[in-house]
Amino acid sequence: MRLLGITVGMVAAVTFVSGVAQAQDIEVVYSQTSPTPNVASAPHSSIPAALGFWEDAGLEVQNNSVNGSTLAVQLTNAGTSHFTMASVEPLMVAQEKGGDVIAIYNHTREPIYTVAVPADSDITALEQLNGKRIGVLSLSSGAVPFAKAMLAGAGLDPESDVEYLPIGLGAQAVQAIQTGQVDALALWDWAYAQLENAGIEIRHFTSPETDTLLGLMLVGNGEFVREHPDVAVKLAQGIAKASLFTVTNPEAAVRIHWEHYPESKPTGIPEEQALKEAVHLLESRLPKYAIEGREVEKFGGFTEAEWNDTREFLYANGVIMEKLDIDEYYTNDLVDQINDFDAASIIEQAKAYK
């Protein structure tokens, strides 16, 4: 764990130099990894903005929408953005290349990827995927190395025993499944929820090779985090509050998200159906935001074991070429300050929200 040399008193008292004002006047550039975030992203996009969690903390958060975690981390490393919510792979790749980025907040506390089959499939074990076709978003999707690790753990050669077929998302993916173009899927939580909304029941496989891997995390520009730790705390705390709000009242979170991002609301279907499907999509990720029962029962907390397992996994699958000390990748120095808020009041606010 990288040490930032920060104490609670320092976070409270920090001021800025070089003409930069106090934290309440600073503009924070935060890269979203989709131009139109869907409802599964509500806790780290629409909710903290719409409910004023960032504004009330004195932050003016400017969203910089890009496509994908890789570009978002590159912009954060360059200082074009101060923070992004990203998957772990581009962070480790950037560090390997000498980049100055650091993970400060563990957002999804479980992996988002799994291998799955339609519920009525005759395939009941990963070993039975030998000779089968696995549908993926694209061959560069982060789900592919996860699938390969799961298959290798089941005794298959993930390079030669299966075929990976790009099927996209939405209607294209539904057609690929219904017409038998693919036998299994390697996608992520809300992508499966989309298929379930289309009437395709899904059965998931789990694997010890992937169950302990990291998912999404708040990544900051290293220099900015070191110079402005209180800004990092306030941005992450807004996400923690929003996560708690969303877990408490998913339907309210969906409505807030639609109001904040109107283009994310489905059209051409009744309001009641749209709401039901959106809540289902959001609920596919909610368990990953929960902190109860975790080794670290605090919002944003990492463990050394998670980082060790993830580093070994990405190295074994050729995503990274070098295994750096895990302390280079992350810090828990800010976690106590991030969790220093009145959780009961957030729960009450969520329950009362209309």
Domain end (from 179, 205, 231): 205
Q: Are residues 220 and 315 in the same domain?
A: yes
Same domain, 59 and 136: no
Looking at residue 13, its pLDDT comes to 40
233 part of a folded domain: yes
- The span from the first CA to the last CA of the chain, in angstroms, equals 41
* Cα separation, 318 vs 100, whole angstroms: 22
Give the model's pLDDT for residue 238: 98
**Residue bearing tokens 């009641």:** 272
Q: Would you tell me the crossing angle of helices 88-96 and 69-78 to the nearest 10 degrees?
A: 40
Per-residue pLDDT, 9: 42
Please, are residues 303 and 326 in contact by the beta-carbon 8 Å criterion?
no
On whether both 60 and 132 belong to a single domain, the answer is no
1 within some domain? no
Among the listed residues 334, 321, 331, the one whose alpha carbon sits nearest the alpha carbon of residue 94? 321
Q: How far, in Å, CA of 175 to CA of 137, rounded?
A: 13
Residue 65 pLDDT: 82
Same domain assignment for residues 52 and 67: yes
Residue finishing a domain among 166, 188, 205: 205
Residues of the chain with pLDDT under 70: 1-25
Given CA atoms 98, 99, 105, 108 in this order, what sign does their dihedral have? negative
139/91 same-domain check? no
- Residue 101 belongs to some domain of the structure: yes
Answer yes or no: do 279 and 343 share one domain: yes
- Domain with residue 222: its CATH number is 3.40.190.10
| Sheet bearing 163-166, strands edge to edge | 163-166, 133-136, 184-188, 113-118, 202-205
Q: How is 148-166 classified by DSSP, letter by letter?
A: HHHHHHTT--TTTSSEEEE
- Look at residue 3 and tell me if it is in a domain: no
The answer to whether position 160 is within a domain reads: yes
CA distance 46 to 58: 17
289 and 186 co-located in one domain? no
Main-chain phi, psi angles of 264, to 5 degrees: -85, -10
Radius of gyration of the chain (CA): 20
Same domain flag for 69 and 194: no
Per the structure, the complete domain to which residue 167 belongs is given by 113-205
- Residue 4: the pLDDT is 64
> What pLDDT is recorded for position 12?
42
d(CA 322, CA 325): 10
Give domain status of residue 142, yes or no. Answer: yes
* Number of separate domains in the chain: 2
User: 189-197 vs 171-178: helix axis angle to the nearest 10?
Assistant: 70
Residue 269 lies in a domain: yes
310 and 224, same structural domain? Answer: yes
Q: What are phi and psi of 72, to 5 degrees?
A: -60, -40
Distance CA 165, CA 136 (A): 6
Sign of CA dihedral 289, 295, 298, 302: negative
Strands 113-118 and 184-188: antiparallel
| Token pair for 194 | 């989309």
Q: Give the pLDDT confidence of 199-235 residue by residue, as tens digits.
A: 999 999 988 878 899 999 999 999 999 999 999 999 9
Residues 228 and 325 in one domain: yes
| One domain, residues 224 and 327 | yes
- The CB density around residue 275, as the number of other CB atoms within 10 Å, is 17
Crossing angle (nearest 10°) for helices 229-248 and 343-352: 40
**pTM, rounded to two decimals:** 0.88
Question: How far is CA 61 from each of CA 27, 55, 109, 161, rounded to the nearest angstrom?
Answer: 6, 8, 24, 47
If asked whether residues 100 and 178 sit together in one domain, one would say no
Final residue before a domain boundary, out of 161, 177, 205: 205
Instruction: Determine contact, residues 116/205, Cβ cutoff 8 Å.
Output: yes
**Residue at 29 is within a domain:** yes
Can you tell me the distance from the alpha carbon of 204 to that of 185, in angstroms, rounded to the nearest whole number?
9
